[in-house]
């Protein structure tokens, strides 16, 4: 019998909204991924979907529950700081896009770190004068979903 070692796959999600269409963001993915280290590029698989399509295809009830309940404040571009006082939280389920990262072999932390770079690029590209609501979500070592921080 051949010993087949299953490769560990890290997974994380970014949920966000921006002024670009799904097609425009998808077209930008290659350029954003090319800024990552070569080692990361070869291990990373990204899948961008509209939120409704993501929700229909996901069978992870814990993740869907988090989308329904967690509220976020947008990230403010420096030119839009004056709008901060008018900001209201938005539920993650109301964001337009879901970006899934799979990192093989790797951990959820690896996938989340890669998404941080990608999301910084999307934020820089598409938030010139507007608010940018978005959040990275991943499972922790306890098996629970949490909001990602790249401290």
CATH number of 89's domain: 3.30.70
In a domain, 151, yes or no: no
- Is residue 77 within 8 A of residue 132, CB to CB? The reply is yes
Helix boundaries (H) for 49-105: 51-57, 61-69
Cα of 63 vs its chain's centroid, Å: 13
Q: 123: domain range?
A: 10-140
In a domain, 110, yes or no: yes
In a domain, 61, yes or no: yes
3-state secondary structure of 137: strand
Give the pLDDT score at 134: 83
In a domain, 2, yes or no: no
Average pLDDT estimate for 54-72: 91
In a domain, 77, yes or no: yes
Bigger pLDDT: 26 vs 77? 26
pTM, two decimals, is: 0.84
CB atoms within 10 A of CB 78: 6
CB atoms within 10 A of CB 70: 18
pLDDT in tens, 102-149: 999 999 999 999 999 999 888 888 876 566 788 899 998 888 888 876
29/46 Cα distance (integer angstroms): 8
* Mean pLDDT (the chain, rounded): 85
């Amino acid at each position: 019998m051949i010993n087949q070692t299953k490769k560990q796959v890290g997974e994380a999600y970014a949920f966000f909204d921006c002024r670009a269409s799904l097609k425009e963001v998808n077209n930008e993915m290659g350029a954003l991924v090319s800024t990552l280290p070569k080692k990361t590029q070869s291990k990373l698989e990204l899948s961008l979907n509209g939120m409704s399509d993501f929700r229909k295809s996901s069978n992870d009830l814990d993740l869907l529950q988090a989308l329904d309940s967690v509220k976020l404040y947008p990230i403010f571009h420096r030119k839009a700081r004056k709008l901060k006082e008018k900001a209201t939280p938005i539920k993650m389920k109301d964001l337009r896009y879901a970006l899934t990262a799979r990192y093989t072999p790797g951990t959820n932390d690896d996938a989340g770190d890669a998404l941080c770079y990608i999301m910084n690029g999307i934020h820089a590209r598409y938030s010139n004068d507007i608010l940018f609501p978005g959040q990275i979500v991943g499972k922790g070592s306890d098996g629970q979903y949490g909001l990602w921080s790249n401290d």
